[in-house]
Amino acid sequence: MALLAVFGSLEAEVLPWALVRVSVAHVRENPGHASEMGSQVIMGTPLKVTSEKNGWYGIETPEGYRGYVIGNSLKLLTEDDMRRWRSSDRAVVTSIDQTYIYKPDLDPDRGVGTKNFRLQRISDVVNGSVLEILPVKRGEDMVSVRLPDGREGVMRSADVENLIEWKQRATDIDAVIDFATALMGTPYLWGGTSTKSMDCSGLTKIAYLSQGLILPRNASQQAKTGVSIPMADRSAFRKGDLLFFGNKDTGRINHVGMYIGNDKFIHCAGRVRVNSLDQNAPDYMALSLLAVRRLDPNTMKSLSLAVHPWF
């Protein structure tokens, strides 16, 4: 049922759901562009809408993060709209690099990357974006898609995968690490959770999302996920374990990285980079390790997009 929200002289119908309609939308802590960005959401992410004020919508993300998104980044949906979207043929963007959606009337004989082809772009998209698939043939190497705002276009079929098939695959930890290392050098952005730029917990979140797992948003929340691994013996660490750093005196966690083997971990500190836990290594970084967590099979099953009711 639609809710009616009244803010002073402003009266607006607040529909219960929304899809992100741009490649990456900022989630603010309060309704306003000057407010701190606490997170991001990417195209095709389903959101619960809780309120509206002056064009800003209070939202909740699939992992439970709450904040505000400007209305022109969202496509508001009714319950019926959401049921139709959930039952539609959909694909997830699996390209690690940013890719593009083009006008549907392009000439498939024109090579992607030529000047004329670039002029036909209608949107960029990033890894993890969800799009509807249309049953229209646009050349052997292209697939027809519908964006959340209703626009239709085409994109490389190699850059997407059927959502149902993708979310039912077993988690491949090596693929998680490969995804993270492919982002080496990407700049740090406070609140960033996309492949364009990210913070430390944003990196671990999108790396695991590439394998269909929805991690909590922040490092302190991720530190409560999975099972605890003793820190004393680093030989017990496994690839994909999450390493949490912070203040030893207070126990406050403020940073997270991912173990990749051989005493090394990948994290986003200034940029995505690899450092060592070994104090004698040339790439050692002096951080206080406070906790190690492993996503065991039961945890991975509970975090899987395959069991999330919004998808």
Active site residue 308: no
Catalytic residue (one of 26, 255, 268, 308): 255
Q: Which of 33, 267, 268, 308 is flagged as catalytic?
A: 267
117 Cα distance to chain centroid: 28
Catalytic residue among 33, 200, 268, 308: 200
Secondary structure (DSSP) of 84-130: HHHHS-EEEE--SS-EEEE-TT--TTSPTTSHHHHTTEEEEE-TT-E
CA pair distance 97, 86, nearest whole angstrom: 26
d(CA 35, CA 67): 10
DSSP helix/strand/coil, 163: helix
Select from 132, 46, 129, 130 the least CA-distant residue to 89.
Answer: 132
267 is catalytic: yes
User: Which of 17, 125, 28 lies closest to 70, judged by CA?
Assistant: 28
Distance from C-alpha of 43 to C-alpha of 48, rounded to nearest angstrom: 15
Is 255 a catalytic site residue?
A: yes
Q: Catalytic residue positions? A: 200, 255, 267
